[in-house]
Amino acid sequence: MEEKKQFLCGVVEGFYGRPWSMDQRKVLFQWMQLWGLNTYLYGPKDDLKHRLLWREVYSPEEEAQLHTLIVEAQSRGLRFVYAVSPGQDIVFSSSCDLTLLKRKLKQVSDLGCQAFAILFDDIDHSMCQADSEAFPSFAHAQVTVTNELYRFLGEPPVFLFCPTEYCGSLCSPSVSKSPYLQTVGEDLLPNITVIWTGSKVISRQLSLDCLAELESVLQRPPLIWDNLHANDYDTRRLFLGPFKGRDPQLRSHLRGLLLNPNCEFEANYIPLHTLASWYRAEKDDMKDEECEYCPERALTAALHDWMEELNQPLQAGRQSTRADHRASFSSSRSKTPDRSDCPSTFRATHAVAKLPVFPLNSSSPPSSPPMGKAEREGREAEKMRSHQPSQQLPGSRSGAPVGGGRAQRAQGRGLCGGKGLLSEAQVRLLVGLHYLPHEHGPSAQKLLKDLTWLKSNCHLVGANSKKAQAQKVDEWRGRASSFLSLCEDIAQLHCSVVGGANRAVLYDLYPYVWDLRNTALVAKAFICWLDGRVLSDSSSLATWRNCFHWCGKTTGADLLGVDPEPWVFKGGVSGEVQMLLPIGSSSELFTHPPPLFPTSRLYNIRPYHSKDKVELYRMVRQLHLRTQGGQESTMPHPDVIGDRCLGPCLALSPEYSFILEDELGICGCVLGIIDVRSFAKRCQASWIPAMRDKYPPKGNSSHSNTQNLVQLMEEDQGEYPDSLLYHFPSQLRLDALPELVDVSVSRTLLTALLTALKANGSQGVFCEVQPTDHQRLEFLTKLGFLEILRGEARSREGVVLGRLL
């Protein structure tokens, strides 16, 4: 009886997605023991024999693994609960299905498991004809099978039942009036515990009133399956915040609480650490005020412990250079015996060198992972790292250093990463940006608030706005400076995570840190661009007020006036920043897989400055020489390629030019023309005559290429069909060095330009590509560019692709 009364508190591995590995589960059991948690429920949705193939027994190899896991949990003082989920296709009236279910549970029971759960969540309410004839209702069918299994297993002290109506929002018509729940409460054997998630699938709060109402219907206290930190419904969200919104006093009305956390194992340190603090808060021997549960205080304690974990050289398989000794610093908080003498069965004690980066999507590291150019450069430059020059304020026009090429500067400027240690400020930033499903952390709140304000007030610094008060302009630029600084911190955080010693954490957190880094790069470039470039209402093209009128000052949930499930609004902080940008609804520009090889190179995207021209010309000249296989000494003039490829845009449309740079200098650019018709006229009026003066004919000169160049420039400005320009009035050109390690930044660079074009009224943009450039054609197609015109329609070779904005 005493065992039955124990409050069950721990972890449920019940998410959709790739299950945790055996080694990760063993580390989990170690954490749970150190922190005083007591229950682990095994129920990963993507374990075939847990759900889809529930009728099949485990193979001898699988049996051995499961037995090892059960023994490991029990040796740590944990209760191992085995869950099976047959609801998708079970025939409740079938004696054969019932026999197979008993056989499956008997197999697990023989392995030493003493606690079980049967789950009927996330299934259709309908019954087959045989079941409809055998049972008066769906609930009766489930309850009958559950009671039979419970008796078959000898009425174990812990037996859990997850109903199909497992939260308030799924009950029809309500919790108190649900016929389904009433049947469960009346007919389910009294010692079987019912699982519940709260008022929602993912509940912001658990209230005493709602639990009391449920308890009266079920005639027993429920066990909470808590999805607060579950992230299997959104590939762009991660939850590192503290356990929150559940008063410890609720425990007297519950049988237990199990947290269903992030799919990414390493992301669950803080959630589980703070859950343990919550669990200990209301124990009988902890009544003083200091021991009352405070999420912020629990977060601080968890951060302190996680800092040591983050900066340990752990591989993706959790091998470590140290023995298991964390119990000594955790015991003071967990009030559990010191565990420093516990055997470390899952972490090797031999020295491990810093690992090179290997593919994120691999299930295990290759024996000899390939080392990319960026990784080699990083190793060579490790001892010569220097600080990046501070970012200019948005009103500034100074550019990147222009002296010397990338190769010359490579000797003094390497990859970022420092010593591979994450600072406490960076970890707090990481947590604040990936906080909780219903609540952003301080850093995320500031990021969104500043971006919203800067957008709403960009008319203060518009290109042709009425003269604003200097005080207002200073306020805008001050807040812009703060916003840019936060974006830079996000970029540096990405570098530190990639360059850190803990590779296990890297491979779990990298996709989320990388995604937010890219979104922040676009937002940062956009805010820099607004100052002096966004058009006000006096312009014939300007639509910034129309474009920005939906700029949110509240969350989507507040706008709807409801409390929806978190999956209604995709993307977390990255998604909200995206939706605050003019092209935020173009999801294909923001949602894409991370690069196969993470790089800690620090990238920046910013508007073009006049000082960048020399380096841009050098870059396109090198690209041309690589393509043509020529030598620079054979070129008649160093500017000929730059003048043809970049010159017109840089001279006549510099406000729509963006630069991509890393620690070594400029490595890419994108140039835009907002109105091709007017640009062509300006080009014929001023640029072409200037080029004729710069490259005059010289009789029988051997440098006839320069004369051909002027002719090509004139042809470049040939007329496009009105049918094209009506829908796609703007044009772009994208150039990037082929050795760019993270090709996703090219997409981010292009997105920055599209954001600016949209902000100033463009409704569509096109890009002309050589038909043999299959890689660029594929790249643009993935970004929503569709082929709209072939070269023969313009009397010259080329494919025109466009997309609406």
CA dihedral 299, 302, 307, 308 (to 10 degrees): 170
If you search the block for the tokens 């948005």, which residue do you land on? 394
Strand 786-790 relative to strand 799-804, pairing: antiparallel
Q: Return the SS3 of 736.
A: strand
Cα distances (Å, whole numbers) of residue 586 to 676, 731, 804: 23, 18, 10
**3 state SS for 94-107:** CHHHHHHHHHHHHH
If you search the block for the tokens 């009671």, which residue do you land on? 147
- Catalytic: 639? no
Q: Which two tokens stand for residue 785?
A: 């560019």
CA angle 621, 625, 629 (to 5 degrees): 175
CA-based nearest residue to 359, from 371, 347, 351? 371
Q: Identify whether the C-beta of residue 241 lies closer than 8 Å to the C-beta of residue 208.
A: no
The Cα 433–Cα 352 span in angstroms is: 31
Crossing angle between the packed helical segments 424-433 and 442-456, to the nearest 10 degrees: 70
The Cα 357–Cα 371 span in angstroms is: 7
The Cα 683–Cα 690 span in angstroms is: 10
CA-based nearest residue to 34, from 349, 318, 255, 342? 342
Please, is 402 exposed, middle or buried when counting C-beta atoms within 10 Å of its C-beta (0-12, 13-18, 19+)? middle
CA dihedral 537, 540, 542, 545 (to 10 degrees): 40
80 C-beta neighbours (distance < 10 Å), count: 25
Q: Identify whether the C-beta of residue 664 lies closer than 8 Å to the C-beta of residue 409.
A: yes
Catalytic member of 122, 234, 563, 716:
122
Question: Which residues form the catalytic set?
Answer: 122
